[in-house]
Amino acid sequence: MQSVDFPKATTIGNSAFSDTYLENINFPLVTTIGNFAFSSCSQLKNASFPMAQTIGSSAFSLCSNLESISFPAFAEFGLYNGSYYNPFSSCSKLVLFNLSGLGSLSGYSGQLVRMFRLWLCVGSAKIVQSIRTNCA
């Protein structure tokens, strides 16, 4: 499967597409992406979730070819066993990134804030639309 478009889906469960061979995905109505939902999708290049508000822990981890991802309505990260885990770990090719709905990181633990700021400021991502937070 190269491209997937699920026009009516509103939730993606934990590990739902983990370790699949998707290349391009579009989920226009999804509001929640579960933990590990697309983890280890090594062929995934582009993903669009215009309505997604919650991104689960490690949702896109090990997506080594992911280049572009968009979450303009993003509001929060999900928990896994009571902790936050980087949803984009080992996404070394990610260059187009949109989290424009995120107004601040103030509601998250210090560890997540440090991890996320480091990833955004000195990691591989080029921010397309500002997430309105300082890189300090």
The model's pLDDT over 63-114, given as tens digits with 9 standing for 90+, comes to 999 988 888 787 777 767 766 677 887 887 877 766 666 655 555 545 455 5
Give the count of beta carbons closer than 10 Å to the beta carbon of residue 1.
11
Distance CA 46, CA 2 (A): 11
Residue 12 pLDDT greater than 80, yes or no: yes
- Cβ distance 11 to 31 under 8 Å? yes
Distance CA 37, CA 20 (A): 10
What is the total count of domains within the chain?
1
Q: Which two tokens stand for residue 127?
A: 């921010």
CATH number of the domain that residue 104 is part of = 3.80.10.10
Residue 20 pLDDT greater than 60, yes or no: yes
Distance CA 40, CA 21 (A): 9
- The CA radius of gyration of the chain, in Å to the nearest whole number, is 14
Distance CA 64, CA 108 (A): 26
| Helical residues (DSSP H) of the chain, grouped into ranges | 110-122
**Owning domain of residue 37:** 1-136
